[in-house]
Amino acid sequence: MDLIENTKEVGQRAKQELEKLHTAVELDAFFAKFLAKKGEIPTLMGNMKAVPAELRATFGKAVNDVRTSVNELFERKKAEIEKAKLEKKLAEEKIDITLPGATLSPGFKNPYYGIIDEVTDIFLQMGYEVAEGRDVETDRFNFELLNVPKDHPSRDMQDTFYLIDDLLLRTQTSAAQAHKMLENEVKTPIRMICPGKAYRRDDDDNTHSHQFAQIEGLVVDHNISIANLKATLELFVKKMFGEKREIRLRSSYFPFTEPSVEVDVSCFACQGKGCSICKGTGWIEILGAGMVNPKVLEMCGYDPKEWSGFAFGVGVERVAMLRYGIDDIRRFYQNDIRFLKDYPLK
């Protein structure tokens, strides 16, 4: 067969095969078969010796033409396959921007923490420091140093969560008072609040929870009187519940204060006229307080002849319930996101 014809036939075949290629793998195989060093087209040149001298130039040109044109077509095919591959990939990865996104639901602060923050801010502005209490206490700090007598019912197994022997979950944040006074080795004035949890073996119902929060306050200085207590609480109540609020003190009993009082605030719902929130009395009880019992001062190293002080304890959930009109204390602890959404905090 004429060598030039043969060359054209190889070129023809290569072009036909090229037409049918679809993948990069097929392209590679094609390249190896026709265009690589030992492929059909470059080896055509090996036939040169058999070509008569006068036809060598024509033969050489024919081989080169075939190589150039097959090469060109090969490059075009390669670009086509790469383009198709890219388009396929883009189509597969296409993002449907019209699909609704996953909605992120932001967290909400429990209103109970909102109250703690507000009360803390009010007292920080008055120059108080915030003390860290501890949830696990000893009998000494929770009861003894607070002058709670041995036979007091709150010391009973029925009322307190005892851990081992002498260790218990504190029943009141008042335990922080004794810590603060004893920590002050050099006896200096104290103005502190201690927000924290307290625990009692109560059966849970809409106004009782075995776990709740209190904010304890303690001031110890020279010449502190009940007038200072009243003025401080009045300021606190006005900041917390509004300028028009008034307070009244009712005589009460706590072992660690003498005298002891319960403090009522004039009802913010009915302005003192009487409604369901204040049970018709016009007043709402919000905290317990009193002058620090001299026995407590003495046990904690403050000489009662030189020092005097006042203390108070606020129930956090109670304030939150009054403030937001929440009717069941258990709702603070049920982790129900709807509850948190109902009382969004600023």
Contact flags string 159-198 toward ligand DAH, x per CB under 6 A? -------------x-x------------------------
The closest alpha carbon to 175, from 156, 200, 198, 150, belongs to 198
Task: Give yes or no for residue 288 binding ligand DAH (CB under 6 A).
Answer: yes
Pairwise CA distance, residues 233 & 151, whole Å: 31
Task: Give yes or no for residue 241 binding ligand DAH (CB under 6 A).
Answer: no
Residue nearest to ligand DAH (CB): 313
- Residue (59 or 310) nearer to ligand DAH, CB: 310
- Residue (202 or 342) nearer to ligand DAH, CB: 202
Task: Give yes or no for residue 312 binding ligand DAH (CB under 6 A).
Answer: yes
* 117, 130 Cβ separation under 8 angstroms: no
Task: Give yes or no for residue 110 binding ligand DAH (CB under 6 A).
Answer: no
Is the alpha carbon torsion for 142, 148, 149, 153 positive or negative? negative
Is the alpha carbon torsion for 72, 78, 79, 84 positive or negative? positive
- Binding residue (CB under 6 A) for ligand DAH from 212, 313, 329, 343: 313
* 10, 44 Cβ separation under 8 angstroms: yes
- Residue (257 or 266) nearer to ligand DAH, CB: 257
Q: Are strands 129-130 and 283-292 parallel, antiparallel or unpaired?
A: unpaired
Q: Are strands 129-130 and 190-199 parallel, antiparallel or unpaired?
A: parallel
- Residue (3 or 215) nearer to ligand DAH, CB: 215
| Residue 185 Cβ vs ligand DAH, minimum distance, rounded to whole Å | 23
Task: Give yes or no for residue 115 binding ligand DAH (CB under 6 A).
Answer: no
| Residue 254 Cβ vs ligand DAH, minimum distance, rounded to whole Å | 4
- Binding residue (CB under 6 A) for ligand DAH from 110, 147, 209, 257: 257
The closest alpha carbon to 118, from 337, 256, 322, belongs to 322
CB atoms within 10 A of CB 94: 8
- Residue ranges that bind ligand DAH, judged by CB under 6 A: 172, 174, 216, 254, 257, 288-290, 311-313
